[in-house]
Amino acid sequence: MTDAVQAEAVRDFIALVDKYGIEEGGWAEFLFWETVEGKRDRPFKLLDKMPEEEMAVLRRLRDEAGLWVFWQDGRWCHTPVDVWRPYAQENTADVMFEKISRANILGT
């Protein structure tokens, strides 16, 4: 896959995060990962299942580009899927939500 196609896949992912009204990452990338991996049937419990077009964006990033996007230091970054997968297995969306919630409560 060319750099241009990878960049497009990353942009499409970020646009999907924006579509869901998420102002920054840190949790969305875990929710989307668990959805594309089949661990959830939707990223957010109160919403409908993710439409096929949106799932295609996630699969394209994971399978074709071989990347996953994550939020770090106030910006979107990306890493190879083989690096992301074990990290996301240990740091689930629920774990990340708890960390984010704790940080917000403590102001850190």
- CB of 41 closer than 8 Å to CB of 49: yes
- For residues 12-40, give the mean pLDDT: 90
- Looking at the DSSP bridge assignments, the partners of residue 80 are 67
pLDDT tens across 28-73, in order? 999 999 999 999 989 988 889 999 999 999 999 999 999 999 999 8
CA distance 38 to 16: 18
Tokens of 102: 């704790």
- In this prediction, residue 25 carries a pLDDT of 67
| Helical ranges in the chain per DSSP H | 3-19, 28-36, 52-59, 81-90, 93-106
Q: Where are the domains of the chain?
A: 3-106
Q: What is the pTM of this model?
A: 0.88
- For residues 14-28, give the mean pLDDT: 84
